[in-house]
Structure formats: C-alpha cells, structure tokens
Amino acid sequence: MTTFPESVSKSQRSSGINWRSLILPIAVILVVLFCLAPVLWQLLTSVKVNQDISAVPSVYFPRRFTLEHYQQLFARRPFWNYLLNSFFVAAASTLLALGLGAPAAYALARLRLQGERVILAGVLIVTLFPPILLFLGLLRVVQVLSLGDNYLALVLPYAAINLPLTILVMRSFFEQLPRDLEDSAKVDGYNTVGTLLNIVLPLTLPALATTGILAFITAWNEFIFALTFITRESMKTVPVAASQLGGASIFEIPYGPIAAATVLGTLPLVLLVLFFQRQIIQGLTSGAVKG
C-alpha cells in the first residue's frame, strides 16, 4: 500500500518538467546580460556612424559600422601617450605597494611584534576610508613638495591607497604557509630576508598576482587625483583625457570618440585579467578549504 503512491510520484517527477534546471540558466543569462549591457552599448557606439548615434529612436544594433571614431581619437589627441602614462603610473604604484606591503605582511604574520593587534586594527580602519577624504591633505602635500605635474604626485598616493589592502591580503596568505618551510630554510642558512625572497614569495605568486591586479585596476581607473595633480597635457592619464574630449564646437558632444576612448581604456585591463586568470583563480580560492 505504501509503495504505490511513491511509484506514482516518481513517475510524475520523471515525466514532469524540472523548472529549477530551466530557471537557473535563464537567471544566469539575464544577470550576465544586465552586467555586460553597458559594455556592449559603449562598444557598439564606438563603431556606429554619427547618424545612428543621434537617431531617434535609438539604433541599438547598427547595420553600418565605422572606425572613424578611433581614427579621430588618435588624430586629435596623443592617445597613445595617455595609455603609456596610465600604464606607467599604475605599474609603478602597484610595484611599490607590493614591495612595501609584502614584507610588512610577512612581519605581521610571522614575527611577534608589540602592539600587533593595534597595527592590524589601524590598517583595517585605513582601508575603510574613502580616498576622496584624503584629497585636501594630499593637495597640500603636493603643493609643499612641488610635486605638481610630476608622476610621483600620482604614484605615491596610489601606492599608499593600495598598501593597506595589500598588507591584509598578503598576511592571510603568509599565515596559511607551514612554518616547517621557513625552519628548513633557516637550517640551510637563509636569513629572514632570504627566506622571504627565495622561499615564501614564490609560493605566494597567486596572492601577489591577485593583489597586484586589484591595485593596478584601482590606479588605472582613478580620476580625481589625476585630474587635479596633473595639468600638463602630455602627462595626463586615460580617464582624464577621455573626460576632456571635445567636439567641433562647444555645443557638440563627441559620443563616438568618447565611447572609443572608453573601449581602449578598458581593453588593457581585460587583457591583463585574461592573461593572469589562472593566478587570479588560484589566489581567490587558495585557503578556502583547509586540509
């Protein structure tokens, strides 16, 4: 008597539609489309002709394509120079943040320091501060040290902004490494610096890659400091240059060149993430499960 209803319910489940298996993929596709819609819109705008850009109603999927906006972007402004400026500032600040943050994180993870909890609390509190709150103080420092129109005016603040996050992330990875490796290195004659450079850091390459890419993206996309501290045209970064693109007259908004500048400014970050995607995945998943 009890097996008959169970058999009926099993047959109904087998013959019915599994709505969960259908709803989940559809929901994922909708979320992905929602997140990628602005990117797709900018990409399409950068290759639309001007008539389609200004058409009413809007032309979402154009039939005519052009590279004129990219040509205008490089003809009117030295955009290659802007890309090199952004790359230099972001790379230098990232290397400085990693160079200072990794030893500091190793010291907090391995050495017994007085006031260690106070130091960690201070680092954590600094990460909660929005960088815009430091603007007036940094502006005064730049004026006193005469760092205006100097790459150091951007490299040093960007490195300082990314330093707390670097310390916290790298410290968590150092704590997961077994101490036996460092004890073996000491037996082989390595000092603390040699152990860090030759033993510990090679094992934390995924963490370095993940932290470095986050710092690089933050420095690449920063706008307020780059707009204020750098006024020389040849030293401007991509976000500032893209915001200052002008049309043939003061009443014209160059949507096409702005979209082209946005695409070119985002493309290096996409290529960077794709190139280091394996290290990023390892860095994000490392330590998730402890054995």
- Say how far apart CA 58 and CA 255 lie, in whole Å: 13
Residues contacting residue 221 through CB under 8 Å, at least 6 positions apart: 239
76's tokens:
């009117």
Does 1 fall in a domain?
Answer: no
pLDDT of 185 higher than 80: no
Instruction: Answer for the pair 57, 45: CB distance below 8 angstroms, yes or no.
Output: no
- Say how far apart CA 284 and CA 40 lie, in whole Å: 27
Question: How many domains, in total, are found in the chain?
Answer: 2
Does 14 fall in a domain?
Answer: no
- Say how far apart CA 238 and CA 87 lie, in whole Å: 9
Q: 60 is in which domain, residue-wise?
A: 19-66
Residues 28 and 107 in one domain: no
Tell which wins on pLDDT, 219 or 107. Answer: 219
- Say how far apart CA 279 and CA 209 lie, in whole Å: 6
Percent of the chain whose predicted confidence (pLDDT) is above 90 = 23
Residues 55 and 186 in one domain: no
Does 10 fall in a domain?
Answer: no
Last residue of some domain: 9, 34, 66? 66
pLDDT in tens, 11-45: 445 556 677 778 888 888 999 889 888 889 889 99
Does 268 fall in a domain?
Answer: yes
Residues 38 and 87 in one domain: no
How many CB atoms neighbour CB 98 within 10 A?
Answer: 22
pLDDT in tens, 123-178: 888 888 888 888 888 889 888 988 888 999 999 999 999 999 899 888 888 888 78
Residues 144 and 44 in one domain: no
- Say how far apart CA 125 and CA 123 lie, in whole Å: 5
- Say how far apart CA 183 and CA 277 lie, in whole Å: 32
Q: With helix as H, strand as E and coil as C, how does 191-251 read?
A: CHHHHHHHHHHHHCHHHHHHHHHHHHHHHHHCCHHHHHHCCCHHHCCHHHHHHCCCCCCCC
The candidate with the shortest Cα–Cα distance to 235, out of 138, 162, 153, 142, is 153
Mean pLDDT of the chain: 83
How many CB atoms neighbour CB 41 within 10 A?
Answer: 13
| pLDDT classification of 250: cutoffs 50, 70, 90 | low
pLDDT of 233 higher than 80: yes
